[in-house]
Structure 1
Amino acid sequence: MKMADGSIGTAAELRDPNYTPPLTQAIPLGIQHVLAMFVSNVTPAIIVAGAAGFGFGSNSPDFPELLYMIQMSMLFAGVATLLQTITLGPVGAALPIVQGTSFAFLPIMIPLVAGKGVDALGALYGGVLIGGLFHAALGMVIGKIRFALPPLVTGLVVTMIGLALVKVGIQYAAGGVPAIGKPEYGSLLNWSAALIVIFATLGLKFFARGMLSISAVLLGLIVGYIYALMVGMVSFEAIGTSWTRASAFALPVPFKYGFEFSFAAILGFCLMAFVSAVETVGDVSGITQGGAGREATDKEIAGATYADGLGTAVAGIFGGLPNTSFSQNVGLIAMTGVMSRHVVTCGAIFLIICGLVPKVGAIIRTIPIEVLGGGVIVMFGMVVAAGISMLSDVDWNRRNMVIFAISLSVGLGLQLEPGAVQYLPDTLRILMTSGLLPAAVIAIVLNLVLPMELPGSATEEVSGGMSGHGQGSLGHD
């Protein structure tokens, strides 16, 4: 109940996941969780559609398909979140975990669909479904495989995810994927819209408080959208057309884009499931530590992994993209001090309602690509920063520096120069040019096979190396 001082419960109640605040408090708190993740949740669908070559104008024949993908992102983020909060047998952690569309899989999805239109989606969703089932199966062994994924590996992978995506943010800010005959690409007008979003987001994040700070990216996009309207980048006619073409209510369609077994897609999604599962373990631990001051139990970690995978598999059936726990909401729980899973359930219901109303997606799609680019630059930069933060926990001795150096060089190099493996079979070429998978595989294998300490003779022979305590760099004492 609400206390006399305006709080919504005692300290013990707020730390209890099963505590239910009054609805007058629970609903706004739940919507706050949605605002914190909303833009990040729908952005991957827009990026995948853009990579596939969908038309972004409201008169494009692909416009309904784009709206459908946005709709499914919202709907199945809500469904997956309900699996976490309400649970279904062993599925779900019974914790306030917010699920959303994962950025981590974009380096796998973009090469799979690049320039192939709707025809490529059957293989994509086949990979999402099988990868999701594999992800769910990891719940049975997640505790036993964590040894193979220390911060050196997971930090490298998360950093590589961000590095793989920053190019997309720059392209969007400049006017979309560059094309011949597009002279406005990189124009001052395009960049002005993106910069307005970035500056507004930074201002709100660091100089505002409460909801204004928490929802800085969303509000930054709104400011950018208003600017775009003022300078003629968005017409009211286009908004009206988008609104008219979108239906008021629509249910998801199973296997709308067919189902195709693609070895490259299935292998890519299954390999990325390892990374996503470990990220979820970290998020669950962050929630229990920040909200309840305790370690996560094995049951909670397994349940969260089951829900991650099952939510992804169900989304794949209906045209959604892979789901994962959202880290930004972990920080929100620590900030508000409200551990109630029922608060997040309110947010999940709100997401589901939005996902059943395509007109919500139609409004989102009227956001100019340049405005979205400003938000994407911030979000993808934060992914890189999160990876670097994870790497700060690494003992930077010579062994770990060599593992990191080789993995990063090969992974980033193949991503920047895909023509270097042009003669490989298509499946292997797609996996290699993602950059992410070769970097992850190299790091995991080297971390498992290289000795934890270099032989004493080798240490003595190499001058100017790392000290025995892991300080310095490869070239300095």
Structure 2
Amino acid sequence: MTASSIGTPEQLRDPDYTPPLSRAIPLGIQHVMAMFVSNVTPAIIVAGAAGFGFGSNSPDFPELLYLIQMSMLFAGVATLLQTITLGPVGAGLPIVQGTSFAFLPIMIPLVAGKGVDALAALFGGVVIGGLFHACLGLFIGRIRFALPPLVTGLVVTMIGLALVKVGIQYAAGGVPAIGTPDYGSLLNWSAALVVIVVTLGLKFFTRGMLSVSAVLIGLLVGYLYALGVGMLTVEAITGSWSRSAAFALPQPFRYGFEFSAAAVIGFCLMAFISAIETVGDVSGITKGGAGREATDTEITGATYADGIGTAVAGVFGGLPNTSFSQNVGLIAMTGVMSRHVVTCGALFLILCGLVPKVGGVIRTVPIEVLGGGVIVMFGMVVAAGISMLSDVDWNRRNMVIFAISLSVGLGLQLEPGAVQHLPDTARILMTSGLLPAALIAIVLNLALPHDLTGEATEEVSGGLSGQGKGSLPR
């Protein structure tokens, strides 16, 4: 199969191009597989923090399944808002929405050990924070001058740097397995390495659909490998299928609605970071997929969809949504810019959310197998951020802004105990890393004079010196 069977280079760079369904459907499912674990993991983490029982006989187990179901369903709904658009809502680009990790530092303290009773305040914050996020779309285009590639590239790079740790943890056995004898075993790593080797082999030594679907096929081969070596059993697959309902609809305000000042403030502050991430992701998609800058209309529409998608999800028991940076990396990797491909993926996510049996089987994919896939994708997020930073004019001024922002943000993320004496809300926001890095970069970029732009950067330690504006690799 040749690349021409998918589309011409001009067609592949066009968001409105629709590949044949035989190509579009597997490409869309590949997007789902790239983000699936990241999408459902926040729900599992929140349920664990709240003290839910994870056994099939636990009275809380149906609530856990419901949270996972809503994560899939409303990720699909929010993605449709981005790809199909609804009036001014949506960018009309191949943006994949999913449950955001960025909000976990806010959500975990809100529900810690409080069980189902804490979810009313949690989802009250999700709804109000989502509406605030949507309001950011009213002026996000006007403040875009404050979000140059130096800022957006930094945020996307930091998100990727935070995610790569998760990818390694998945490949080694998953977060719950940390500290156990099997964590990091050769068997665990072998499953991840099978996925990585198959993905890279197909990507660089085949053409056409095999190359474009490399990640999806790599995950399927890894799944079969896990089944063959005993990491996964047929009984586990059939058991998951039998324990899951055949069909289930979302229930509005299933957990009630409660106003909590801490939840509202936290979600609104993190919504601003999520909006910056979305600006970076939209810019990354248009730059990597179409070789152009994103328009103000696309930025505004994407922000509206972020907020509306989150608010609607909160009504039905879904967690905050945001654009998924790993799928930006997938677009750069496949070279397919079609938004209709992502629409196919969104419909598959909605199917998973309405038919829990489908999601139940997908969740049987061993964490180590998914770890192999996300190592590739999360690494691509970092690469996407660096690609955005290549457009920065690296003079002394910009190097200092980047250095301080990265040092403080990444440093607080790695050593949260450094701000243990701050009030709880401030401590949680600071140790996220993203918020202080973004704020420092924005403030310094606006405050420091630009009169050094034309000067050559002085030599720094190790013989490194700042270079001029970078260019994207061809």
- Note if contact 2:129-2:268 (Cα within 8 Å) is conserved in structure 1: yes
- Note if contact 2:192-2:222 (Cα within 8 Å) is conserved in structure 1: yes
Q: CA deviation at 1:406?
A: 1.7
- Note if contact 1:194-1:375 (Cα within 8 Å) is conserved in structure 2: yes
Please provide the CA RMSD for this pair. Answer: 3.8
SS of the residue 1:101 aligns to: strand
- Note if contact 1:58-1:241 (Cα within 8 Å) is conserved in structure 2: no
Pair 211,131 (structure 1): closer, same or farther in 2 beyond 3 Å: farther
The equivalent of 2:455 in structure 1 is: 468
The equivalent of 1:34 in structure 2 is: 29
Aligned pairs for 1:20-59 within 5 A: 25-26=20-21, 28-50=23-45, 52-53=47-48
Compute the TM-score of the two structures, normalised by the length of structure 1: 0.81
| Superimposed CA distance per residue, residues 378-404 of structure 1 (whole angstroms, 9 cap, x where no aligned partner) | 222222222222222222222222222
Which of 394, 400, 415 is the matching residue for 2:413? Answer: 415
Give the Cα–Cα distance (whole angstroms) in 1 for the partners of residues 373 and 457 of structure 2.
Answer: 38
Give the Cα–Cα distance (whole angstroms) in 2 for the partners of residues 177 and 15 of structure 1.
Answer: 39
Q: Percent identity?
A: 70
Give the Cα–Cα distance (whole angstroms) in 2 for the partners of residues 285 and 271 of structure 1.
Answer: 22
| Superimposed CA distance per residue, residues 295-339 of structure 1 (whole angstroms, 9 cap, x where no aligned partner) | 765444433322221112111222323334456479759967775
Pair 61,211 (structure 1): closer, same or farther in 2 beyond 3 Å: farther
The equivalent of 1:165 in structure 2 is: 163
The equivalent of 1:222 in structure 2 is: 220
Residue type of the alignment partner of 1:159: T
Aligned pairs for 1:201-280 within 5 A: 201-263=199-261, 265-280=263-278
Pair 66,139 (structure 1): closer, same or farther in 2 beyond 3 Å: same
Structure index of larger Rg: 1
Compute the TM-score of the two structures, normalised by the length of structure 2: 0.81
Deviation larger for 383-392 or 273-282 = 273-282
Which of 307, 310, 321 is the matching residue for 1:309? Answer: 307
Give the Cα–Cα distance (whole angstroms) in 2 for the partners of residues 401 and 378 of structure 1.
Answer: 28
Give the Cα–Cα distance (whole angstroms) in 2 for the partners of residues 233 and 44 of structure 1.
Answer: 23
Give the Cα–Cα distance (whole angstroms) in 1 for the partners of residues 38 and 155 of structure 2.
Answer: 20
- Note if contact 2:396-2:458 (Cα within 8 Å) is conserved in structure 1: no
Pair 92,219 (structure 1): closer, same or farther in 2 beyond 3 Å: same
| Superimposed CA distance per residue, residues 410-429 of structure 1 (whole angstroms, 9 cap, x where no aligned partner) | 22222222222222222112
Give the Cα–Cα distance (whole angstroms) in 1 for the partners of residues 18 and 366 of structure 2.
Answer: 40
- Note if contact 2:29-2:344 (Cα within 8 Å) is conserved in structure 1: no
- Note if contact 2:134-2:306 (Cα within 8 Å) is conserved in structure 1: yes
Give the Cα–Cα distance (whole angstroms) in 2 for the partners of residues 383 and 8 of structure 1.
Answer: 25
SS of the residue 1:144 aligns to: coil
Pair 420,52 (structure 1): closer, same or farther in 2 beyond 3 Å: farther
Give the Cα–Cα distance (whole angstroms) in 2 for the partners of residues 421 and 330 of structure 1.
Answer: 33
Q: CA deviation at 1:87?
A: 3.5
Which of 138, 141, 151 is the matching residue for 2:139? Answer: 141
The equivalent of 2:79 in structure 1 is: 81
| Superimposed CA distance per residue, residues 107-165 of structure 1 (whole angstroms, 9 cap, x where no aligned partner) | 64675479648556545434432222122112211111111111111111112112222
Aligned pairs for 1:415-454 within 5 A: 415-453=413-451
Pair 403,262 (structure 1): closer, same or farther in 2 beyond 3 Å: farther
Q: CA deviation at 1:362?
A: 0.6
Give the Cα–Cα distance (whole angstroms) in 2 for the partners of residues 376 and 268 of structure 1.
Answer: 28
Aligned pairs for 1:100-111 within 5 A: 100-101=97-98, 103=100, 105=102, 108=105
Pair 56,173 (structure 1): closer, same or farther in 2 beyond 3 Å: farther
- Note if contact 2:286-2:292 (Cα within 8 Å) is conserved in structure 1: yes
- Note if contact 1:71-1:355 (Cα within 8 Å) is conserved in structure 2: yes
- Note if contact 2:6-2:23 (Cα within 8 Å) is conserved in structure 1: no
Q: CA deviation at 1:249?
A: 0.3
Give the Cα–Cα distance (whole angstroms) in 1 for the partners of residues 122 and 208 of structure 2.
Answer: 39
The equivalent of 1:186 in structure 2 is: 184
Give the Cα–Cα distance (whole angstroms) in 2 for the partners of residues 56 and 373 of structure 1.
Answer: 22
SS of the residue 1:439 aligns to: helix
The equivalent of 2:472 in structure 1 is: none
Q: CA deviation at 1:370?
A: 2.1
| Superimposed CA distance per residue, residues 344-402 of structure 1 (whole angstroms, 9 cap, x where no aligned partner) | 54554343223210011111221222222222322222222222222222222222222
Which of 93, 96, 99 is the matching residue for 1:99? Answer: 96
SS of the residue 1:140 aligns to: coil
Residue type of the alignment partner of 2:403: A
Q: CA deviation at 1:244?
A: 0.6
Q: CA deviation at 1:12?
A: 9.4
Pair 103,163 (structure 1): closer, same or farther in 2 beyond 3 Å: farther
Deviation larger for 38-47 or 189-198 = 38-47
Pair 179,74 (structure 1): closer, same or farther in 2 beyond 3 Å: closer
Give the Cα–Cα distance (whole angstroms) in 1 for the partners of residues 282 and 192 of structure 2.
Answer: 34
Deviation larger for 175-184 or 196-205 = 175-184
Pair 300,64 (structure 1): closer, same or farther in 2 beyond 3 Å: same
Q: CA deviation at 1:30?
A: 4.7
Pair 429,140 (structure 1): closer, same or farther in 2 beyond 3 Å: same
Pair 200,68 (structure 1): closer, same or farther in 2 beyond 3 Å: farther
- Unmatched 5+ stretches in structure 2: 466-474
Residue type of the alignment partner of 2:210: L
Deviation larger for 118-127 or 136-145 = 118-127
Give the Cα–Cα distance (whole angstroms) in 2 for the partners of residues 174 and 295 of structure 1.
Answer: 38
Deviation larger for 376-385 or 37-46 = 37-46
Deviation larger for 222-231 or 238-247 = 222-231
Residue type of the alignment partner of 2:28: H
Pair 262,231 (structure 1): closer, same or farther in 2 beyond 3 Å: farther
| Superimposed CA distance per residue, residues 415-458 of structure 1 (whole angstroms, 9 cap, x where no aligned partner) | 2222222222221121122122121122222222222236xxxx
Deviation larger for 181-190 or 25-34 = 25-34
Residue type of the alignment partner of 1:167: K
Pair 202,188 (structure 1): closer, same or farther in 2 beyond 3 Å: same
SS of the residue 2:143 aligns to: helix
- Note if contact 1:27-1:347 (Cα within 8 Å) is conserved in structure 2: no
Residue type of the alignment partner of 1:40: M
- Unmatched 5+ stretches in structure 1: 455-465
Pair 431,397 (structure 1): closer, same or farther in 2 beyond 3 Å: same
Give the Cα–Cα distance (whole angstroms) in 2 for the partners of residues 76 and 449 of structure 1.
Answer: 40
